[in-house]
């Protein structure tokens, strides 16, 4: 049976959009955002326990520093802890040393707080591209086993590496890439099964895309955020109508849609999927 990966990028709603919105009063590590993250994670852990699902949480290092109880709760529930860098800043705006320092700092904090080894990494906003592929070498040097920062597409205004394989593969001699899911339509790879795409596409389309992975005997990588599953998120009026659609459409339907997927497909953490399918055999 093919198991797919459910991954959750642990960040606040505003925190995750700090380089997209120009509404400064909403940003910053404040009490509201910390409560948003904690309440959503608690809700998600109960939801996953009810369905017997294990997943991968890619977590910002600053959350491990300021809210270590969240990381401990996730680890104690048996889920995988991955790194989402230290702060939610796009890596392609940083130089080599800044990138190495922020990733290393995150990894050390997460491992110290959770008591678990961190095997996987996902860059904020998938911010590894053709201009900073040296990040893969940094990940190898820091002892990561796999990366999940690549979304193989060229249609997004921020991220994408269209030439990268859609399926799990070796990105370097010692690093596996578990790319986020796409669908190939008329020779173009379109993002799927994550974030706004998960909310925007009708559920039957999501199921069809997942079935295409199953037919290829390939695990698919889903990615969501705590505010897309939990019920706590800020309602910001001072953004454009387009962004309101982009960030809020079907945001209240996360658990309902996942429940239906859990009945049809099997899910596990990224590290378990990679181990059980022989990708990490050395």
- State the Cα–Cα distance between residues 52 and 179, nearest whole angstrom: 24
Query: CATH code at 194?
Result: 3.20.20.370
Q: In this structure, how many other beta carbons lie within 10 angstroms of the beta carbon of residue 167?
A: 18
Q: Is residue 157 part of a domain?
A: yes
Instruction: Kindly state whether residue 282 falls inside one of the protein's structural domains.
Output: no
> What six digits make up the tokens of 13?
């709603």
Per-residue pLDDT, 155: 65
Phi and psi at residue 259, in whole multiples of 5°? -55, -45
Residue at 32 is within a domain: yes
Domain span holding position 53: 3-276
Q: Could you tell me how far CA 38 lies from the centroid of its own chain?
A: 17
More confident residue, 161 or 52: 52
**Residue 28, pLDDT score:** 64
Q: Categorize the per-residue pLDDT at 68 as very low, low, confident or very high, splitting at 50, 70 and 90.
A: very high
What's the pTM? 0.94
Q: What percent of the chain has pLDDT over 90?
A: 70
Residues 6+ apart with CB under 8 A from 136: 128, 147, 171, 172, 175
Is 169's pLDDT higher than 80?
A: yes
Q: Which pLDDT does position 60 carry in this prediction?
A: 97
- Band (pLDDT 50/70/90 cuts) for residue 113 is very high
**Is 281 part of any domain?**
no
Q: What is the pLDDT of residues 29-54, one digit of tens each?
A: 788 899 999 999 999 999 999 999 99
**What pLDDT band is residue 26 in, cutting at 50, 70 and 90?**
low
Q: Are 55 and 267 in contact (CB under 8 A)?
A: yes
Mean pLDDT, the chain, integer: 91
Rounded to the nearest 5°, which phi and psi values hold at 221? -100, 110
Instruction: Give the pLDDT band (50/70/90) at residue 8.
Output: very high
- Phi first, then psi: what are they for 212, rounded to 5°? -65, -35
Q: Provide the 3-class DSSP secondary structure of residue 104.
A: helix
Overall domain count for the chain: 1
CA atoms 85, 55, 114, 280: torsion sign: negative
Whether residue 35 lies inside any domain: the answer is yes
């Amino acid at each position: 049976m093919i198991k797919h990966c459910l991954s959750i990028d642990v960040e606040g709603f505003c925190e995750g959009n700090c380089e997209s919105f120009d509404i400064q009063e909403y940003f910053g590590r404040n009490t509201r955002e910390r409560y948003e993250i904690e309440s959503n994670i608690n809700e998600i852990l109960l939801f996953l326990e009810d369905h017997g699902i294990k997943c991968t949480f890619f977590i910002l290092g600053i959350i491990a520093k300021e809210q270590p109880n969240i990381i401990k709760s996730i680890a104690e529930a048996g889920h995988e802890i991955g790194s989402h860098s230290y702060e939610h800043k796009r890596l392609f705006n940083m130089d080599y040393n800044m990138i190495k320092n922020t990733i290393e700092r995150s990894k050390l904090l997460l491992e110290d707080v959770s008591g678990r080894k961190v095997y996987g990494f996902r860059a904020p906003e998938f911010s590894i591209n053709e201009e900073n592929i040296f990040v893969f070498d940094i990940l190898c040097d820091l002892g990561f086993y796999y990366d999940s920062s690549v979304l193989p597409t060229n249609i997004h205004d921020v991220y994408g590496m269209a030439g990268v394989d859609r399926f799990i593969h070796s990105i370097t001699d010692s690093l596996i890439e578990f790319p986020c899911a796409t669908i190939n339509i008329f020779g173009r790879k379109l993002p799927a099964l994550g974030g706004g795409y998960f909310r925007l596409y009708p559920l039957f389309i999501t199921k069809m895309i997942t079935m295409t992975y199953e037919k290829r005997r390939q695990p698919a990588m889903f990615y969501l955020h705590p505010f897309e599953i939990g019920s706590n998120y800020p309602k910001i009026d001072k953004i454009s109508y387009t962004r309101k659609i982009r960030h809020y459409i079907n945001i209240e339907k996360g658990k309902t849609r996942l429940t239906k997927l859990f009945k049809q497909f099997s899910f596990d953490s990224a590290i378990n999927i990679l181990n059980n399918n022989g990708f990490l055999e050395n």
